Amino acid sequence: MTPIKTQLKARKVGQSWQEFCHEINQPTNWLESIKKPGEDLSHLNLRGANLRGANLRGANLQDTSLFESNLEGANLEGADLRGADLIWAYLEGVNLKGANLQGANLLWASLQRANLQGANLFRATPKGANFRWANLRETTLKEANLEGANLRLTFLQGANLQEANLRGANLQSSNLQGVNLRGAYLKEANLQGANLQGAKGIEGIPLKPFPGLAKKVLNHLRLHPDSLDQGVWHCECGTKHCCAGLATLLAGDLGQKAEERLGVASAAKLLLGGENHPFDPGDDPIPWLEERAQRG
């Protein structure tokens, strides 16, 4: 066992990082001084640790708790983080290129501008994590739980998202060129402005707005004003719909397939195009539809 690991093993259960560092007469950022690649830090309690800017390249952090730890700007290239607890960890700008995060828990972790190119997140749990502007090129996210994750403006070219849970994930304006989305769960996901060129498993996802759909919905509402009910996607009787529900209905087979894959709201946003869609219960969709119809 290395001297560093021996020292860290002495941390008491429930002891805060600040208290522990004070006890061993070390500054809270003392682990930044690690320079030796491949340091063995596996199966340790590093909850709340300050690892900002630390060089942990190739380190063994398997099954280590990094709950609420600060790893901003740290170098974890090629590190082994299998089964690690990274809940609420701050990982902005971290280098995780080629790292192994299989089965790691990244719930609500902050990974803005992080480099995860070629990393393995197979069956990882980055639920609700923030990946904005992150590099996820060629990353394995197969069967990962990305529910509610912020993937807006991320670079996902060539990533494997097969059978991943992307429910409610924000993929707006992300680069998804060549990604594998086969079997991925995409209900309520936001794919507006995403680049899906060459992507696999995108059946049911509209790649461009349905021509003239806003005008079609508008004309329907003018002829049948009683058919609008902003409180339901589709009523059981099939005679009332909200604006989003009417959009998927009037888009025919394409709309039905999109609704099945993405859910009503997400499908309607892609089918109608535009922004700031009037889908909330108190919204009046007529002004928005009129403006959208004028744009063609």
Model confidence pLDDT, tens digit, residues 74-111: 999 999 999 999 999 999 999 999 999 999 999 999 99
Mean of pLDDT values over 132-155: 98
Residue 217 within a domain: yes
Give me the pLDDT at residue 55, please: 92
If one counts every other C-beta atom within 10 angstroms of the C-beta of residue 22, the result is 13
Q: Is the pLDDT of residue 1 over 80?
A: no
pLDDT at site 35: 62
Q: What is the residue range of 240's domain?
A: 213-294
Instruction: Please report whether residue 112 resides in a domain.
Output: no
The CB density around residue 277, as the number of other CB atoms within 10 Å, is 19
Q: Alpha-carbon distance 115 to 177, whole Å?
A: 18
Look at residue 89 and tell me if it is in a domain: no
Q: Please report the pLDDT score of residue 15 as a whole number.
A: 93
SS3 29: coil
Q: In angstroms, rounded to a whole number, what is the distance separating the alpha carbons of residues 15 and 170?
A: 37
Tell me how far CA of residue 124 lies from CA of 71, 199, 259, 284, in angstroms: 18, 22, 27, 41
- Rounded Cα–Cα distance for residues 182 and 164 (Å): 9
Residue 132 domain flag: no
pLDDT at 286 over 70: yes
Residue 259 and residue 86: Cα distance in Å, rounded? Answer: 34
Residue 262 lies in a domain: yes
Domain total of the chain: 1
pLDDT above 80: residue 126 = yes
Does residue 220 form part of some domain? yes
CB atoms within 10 A of CB 23: 12
Contact yes or no for 292/272 (Cβ under 8 A): yes
Q: How far apart are CA 122 and CA 270, in angstroms?
A: 29
Round to whole Å and give the CA distance between 199 and 196. Answer: 5
In a domain, 47, yes or no: no
209: left (phi over 0), alpha (psi -120 to 50) or beta: beta
Residue 139 resides in a domain: no
Torsion from C-alpha of 214, 220, 225, 226, nearest 10 degrees: -120
